[in-house]
Amino acid sequence: MKVKKAIIPAAGLGTRVLPASKSVPKEMLNIVDKPAIQYIVEEAAASGIEDILIITNRGKGVIEDHFDHSFELETQLAGNPSKAELYESVRKCSELANIYFIRQKETKGLAHAVLAGKSFIGDEPFAVLYGDDVVINEQDPVTAQMCRCYEKYGKGIVGVKAVPEELIHLYCSLGVTEIEGESRLMNCWQINEKPSKEEILSLYAILGRVIMPPGVFEMIEKGIAATPEGKEFYLTDVFTELGQAGKLLAYDFDGRRYDMGNKLGIMQANCEIALTHPEIGEKFKAYIKELAATL
């Protein structure tokens, strides 16, 4: 079965990048000349995803505006031949894919946000692209890589990368075993969230991209119903259940990932993408060299 739909959860509070994210959603923080979420929508569209649901909340209406037509701006730019390229770049935002929005009415975590997409998805497999994780591979977008894995195996797939040992306690740690004939794909049988030293199973952690098989909404609903009031039910618990049933794979994706949910990640994304940007790349490289020489 082909993966044709995606959910982009973008309803978090973004507390790690306050005060920048107080009135501008962190998903709208820019990388050079585009907001983070545009890179994510472009990745989904380039991966063959036709319908995208963005989960927002109060105060994030600006995300909807970004993917809509901007009539006045487009009319102004269209009338000026010297602004043809700008016109194209603005118009393109509203034509990337079929984009839908729904609000998560309470900020109750990622699993709760994904559940808001239940009726949009129906009984299909779907991709989840975390709204603050930008992953770049222009030749072969990471979601496309993972969709191919899903089509081959028909199991849930979590996108993973090895993280430094001293940081793994901030992420989750996956128990994995090799699959014969596969270089990046592994069976995943256990996930330990925010592991202590003794709980580290491997340095692989889930980073921002997931393919969900049909049936996960029922698992989320059951999990939320069984979770005491005031406590969060984690998406990781769904992956653990799939893993223990032999229905989960981990995919060591081929792409550069930037965490737009923290300050260092935002600067790394801007710096690296600016260095390869067609308009400012060369000048920025010269500037960085000059700056580095003074450090």
Residues that bind ligand UTP (CB under 6 A): 9-16, 27, 55, 104, 107-110, 112-113, 130-132, 261
Instruction: Return d(Cα 173, Cα 162) in angstroms, integer.
Output: 9
Instruction: Return d(Cα 78, Cα 65) in angstroms, integer.
Output: 19
Question: In the complex, what is the shortest distance from the CB of residue 116 to ligand UTP, in angstroms, rounded to a whole number?
Answer: 8
- Establish whether the linkage from the previous residue to 25 is cis, with ω within 30° of 0: no
**Cβ nearer to ligand UTP, comparing 117 with 156:** 117
- Nearest Cα residue to 144 out of 129, 131, 161, 123: 129
Instruction: Return d(Cα 211, Cα 157) in angstroms, integer.
Output: 5
Contacts of 17 by beta carbon, 8 Å cutoff, 6+ apart: 26, 29, 260, 261, 262, 263, 266
Question: In the complex, what is the shortest distance from the CB of residue 110 to ligand UTP, in angstroms, rounded to a whole number?
Answer: 5
Question: In the complex, what is the shortest distance from the CB of residue 56 to ligand UTP, in angstroms, rounded to a whole number?
Answer: 8
**Cβ nearer to ligand UTP, comparing 12 with 243:** 12
**Cβ nearer to ligand UTP, comparing 210 with 250:** 210
Question: In the complex, what is the shortest distance from the CB of residue 11 to ligand UTP, in angstroms, rounded to a whole number?
Answer: 3
**Cβ nearer to ligand UTP, comparing 77 with 142:** 142
Cα of first residue to Cα of last residue in the chain, in angstroms, is 53
- Nearest Cα residue to 250 out of 181, 166, 155: 155
**Cβ nearer to ligand UTP, comparing 156 with 284:** 156
Instruction: Return d(Cα 92, Cα 67) in angstroms, integer.
Output: 9
- Nearest Cα residue to 273 out of 12, 35, 3, 20: 35
Angle at 45 between CA 42 and CA 51, to 5 degrees: 125
Question: In the complex, what is the shortest distance from the CB of residue 87 to ligand UTP, in angstroms, rounded to a whole number?
Answer: 30
> In which residue are the tokens 């005491």 written?
228
**Cβ nearer to ligand UTP, comparing 66 with 112:** 112
Question: In the complex, what is the shortest distance from the CB of residue 184 to ligand UTP, in angstroms, rounded to a whole number?
Answer: 23
Find the residue with minimal CB distance to ligand UTP.
12
Question: In the complex, what is the shortest distance from the CB of residue 83 to ligand UTP, in angstroms, rounded to a whole number?
Answer: 33
DSSP-based three-state secondary structure for 53: strand
